[in-house]
Structure 1
Amino acid sequence: MKGSFWLAWRQQRMMVGIGATVLATAAAIAVYYRSGMLDELRSGQFDHCAPGPLHCMRPDTVLPLLLDVEPLRYLGALNMALPVLIGVFWGAPLLGRDLELGMHRVVLAQGVSRGQWFASRFALAAATTVTLSGLLAGVFAWWWRPAANRSYGLFWYENTALSGSGPRVVAAALFGLAAGTLLGLLARRVLAAMGLTLLVTGTMTLLLEWTHRTRLLVPPHTYTSAGSIPKPAMGEKWSAGHYGLITASGRRDDVMNCPFPSGAQLRECMDRHGYVARFYEANPVGDYWTFQWTDTAVLGGLAVLLTVVTAVLLHRRRI
């Protein structure tokens, strides 16, 4: 196994080096911008800002007071793109290049089994992927913490935070690697495998973003208030965009049936239509981890499944 691992390292050391460079660059940028963020917060100009989604205004103007979190969003976007990048540029050539060039025959002729050939390459790639993605997610979390869920920062439900942080980043990166490796085995041509991997990983990334927006996998909670009293504050919740009124029988109607924010007009309208309460649907801040572990289970499960399929095909197919 030492020989096959040594060969795997020789073939993948450039990708390992690129990953280390990306991580070091991201960490350096995070240190620089986070330091500036902390200096702004310590200046006292944000002390009057209340928590919640409403913009905090400058005392002397009507302009919102915001931290510079764009670089943080770029890191989140990079983390979201990891399954595509790793799948296309690392997973697809992992077996596909040897199969396309016929190098696998030379390796197997040296007494290395198919299992060893696959295990040595995939183990090194997977270990590096876990390390890189985990550290990038950690850098994001560290950088994000001072500005998390503040009107002048970044809320947990923004896609670069929800999908660009946490354990789902690691699971997504492993899914990209596993998908690219399997498609490289099936296509036996690197360029074809890269194109297919781009399609599969890109589609999966967009599909999970769609499930977030529609709350397909993590349903929102319903918050109600009796009569016309103010609804519970939205605060750090992620609104599902569903607001309405409830009758005594429990029927839910659209909020536009009584389009008044409060006061006598609202009470009169509710009494006229028989409404006894108001409601809205939203995901509380604690659902951040529900989204995280749901995505991690889906992507991690797919990564394991695709890896097993690759191993079975290598064992049964002639290559």
Structure 2
Amino acid sequence: MKGSLRNGSLWNGCLWLAWRQQRVLVSVGAAVLVAVAAIAAYSRSGMLDDLGSGLFDHCDAGPIHCTRPDTGVPLLLDIEPLQYLGALNIALPVIIGVFWGAPLLGRDRELGTHRMVLTQGVSRGQWFASRFALAAATTVALSGLLAGVFAWWWRPAADRSYGLFWYETTALSGSGPRAVAAALFGLAAGTLLGLLARRVLEAMALTLLVTGAMMLVLEWTHRMRLLVPPHSYISAGGVPKAPMGEKWSAGHYGLITASGRRDDVMNCPFPSGAQLNECMDRHGYVARFYEANPAGDYWTFQWIDTAVLGGLALLLTALTVLLLRRRV
């Protein structure tokens, strides 16, 4: 009984020390969240007022910009602050990794203060778990709430010509469960590099490089459609193609022969009408096609990114635990 009480006291002491060391970062995160929520509430209210004014009632959904009937000037909602929030969510893994993950273990190791803690009967596992648990819980709460604020703010303007489409970078990578998994990846990467590097500044620089590179690689896979291939949309003969609407075009358009061969659209560069039909008959084309990702693929992108980033976060955390005995 005494042993369990002592262990409980040690664990509570570890948590208290972790809170003392991280309370400034937790407070900064809370302040950022409150500020973002206030800005979102104000801007979203203005957005709803604009939509309720009737100014956008004649606008159709789709990629073609809506214009004023009288002047032809493009009609757009003020979504710039929303895009800034999306950019913040995309940068959050780097920020958390550099300023929270890298010093989490690295600061104690550099200063040698962990030795004093470990001499008090605290195990390496307790020392790590108390710090990482608080940081991870705060990271999940902060990133999840920021992603939730983005989704709430975005909903009235989602996938509209005057708003923000699902495939734009700030929406696709700055929202949903992907944002939470990315933030955890940043924390895990920073923590591991803080354990491996000799100096905290060195760990912070390495974390900036690693997390930044990972975010860029994922953006590249989005643009190249490597993980979520586009769908093919085919229209027979010269029949008008299905409207693009909310789809994310892959930029691939063309013509199909009776044998199924696909050729470049410039072989018959006519939008429609008799010229198009004549050209298609002359070259033996029986259909046209384009490739795009439908709006439902938003969640496919989200869950694939979440699995990749979440899996890497778990792997890096497990590696940190395995290396604790050698590095501490």
Alignment TM-score, normalising by the size of structure 2:
0.96
Which of residues 54, 58, 67 is equivalent to 2:77? 67
Which of residues 236, 240, 243 is equivalent to 1:230? 240
Aligned match of 1:158: 168
Determine helix, strand or coil for the equivalent of 2:286.
strand
Aligned-partner Cα distance in 2 for 1:297–1:49 = 37
Aligned-partner Cα distance in 2 for 1:163–1:306 = 22
Deviation digits for residues 6-41 of structure 1 (CA, Å, limit 9, x no counterpart): 000000000000000110010000001000000000
Q: How far off its partner does 1:188 sit?
A: 3.0
Unaligned runs of 5+ in 2: 1-10
**Are 1:79 and 2:89 counterparts?**
yes
Structure 1's consecutive aligned runs of 4 or more residues displaced over 4 angstroms after TM superposition are: none
**Are 1:16 and 2:26 counterparts?**
yes
Determine helix, strand or coil for the equivalent of 1:282.
strand
Which amino acid letter does the alignment assign opposite residue 95 of structure 1?
L
CA contact (8 A) 2:110 2:200 kept: yes
Aligned match of 1:193: 203
Deviation digits for residues 235-270 of structure 1 (CA, Å, limit 9, x no counterpart): 000000000000011000000011010111111111
Determine helix, strand or coil for the equivalent of 2:15.
helix
CA contact (8 A) 1:53 1:150 kept: yes
Aligned match of 1:314: 324
Which of residues 33, 46, 61 is equivalent to 1:36? 46
CA contact (8 A) 1:19 1:132 kept: yes
CA contact (8 A) 1:51 1:235 kept: yes
**Are 1:134 and 2:144 counterparts?**
yes
Aligned-partner Cα distance in 1 for 2:69–2:266 = 35
Provide closer, same or farther for how the CA distance between residues 318 and 142 of structure 1 changes in structure 2, counting only shifts above 3 A.
Answer: closer
Correspondence 1:274-285 to 2 at 5 A:
274-285=284-295
Which of residues 252, 260, 268 is equivalent to 1:258? 268
CA contact (8 A) 2:77 2:162 kept: yes
Aligned match of 1:247: 257
Aligned-partner Cα distance in 1 for 2:327–2:73 = 67
Q: How far off its partner does 1:318 sit?
A: 4.4
Determine helix, strand or coil for the equivalent of 2:256.
strand
CA contact (8 A) 2:196 2:327 kept: no
Aligned match of 2:156: 146
Deviation digits for residues 93-141 of structure 1 (CA, Å, limit 9, x no counterpart): 0000000000110100111000000000000000000000000000000
Aligned-partner Cα distance in 1 for 2:78–2:68 = 15
Q: How far off its partner does 1:51 sit?
A: 1.0
Which of residues 283, 296, 306 is equivalent to 1:286? 296
Aligned match of 1:270: 280
CA contact (8 A) 1:174 1:303 kept: yes
CA contact (8 A) 1:78 1:164 kept: yes
Aligned-partner Cα distance in 2 for 1:295–1:63 = 38
CA contact (8 A) 1:97 1:188 kept: no
Aligned-partner Cα distance in 2 for 1:201–1:222 = 34
Which amino acid letter does the alignment assign opposite residue 308 of structure 2?
V
Which amino acid letter does the alignment assign opposite residue 313 of structure 2?
A
Aligned-partner Cα distance in 2 for 1:269–1:53 = 28
Unaligned runs of 5+ in 1: none
Deviation digits for residues 142-182 of structure 1 (CA, Å, limit 9, x no counterpart): 00000000001000000000000000000000000000000
**Are 1:52 and 2:62 counterparts?**
yes
CA contact (8 A) 1:245 1:255 kept: yes
Determine helix, strand or coil for the equivalent of 2:215.
helix
Which of residues 96, 99, 106 is equivalent to 1:89? 99
Aligned-partner Cα distance in 2 for 1:54–1:87 = 39
CA contact (8 A) 1:83 1:173 kept: yes
How large is the RMSD of aligned CA atoms in angstroms?
Answer: 0.6
Aligned match of 2:8: none
CA contact (8 A) 1:168 1:292 kept: yes
Aligned length: 318
Which of residues 296, 300, 305 is equivalent to 2:315? 305
Aligned-partner Cα distance in 2 for 1:231–1:238 = 15
Aligned match of 1:117: 127
The share of aligned pairs that are identical, in percent, is: 82
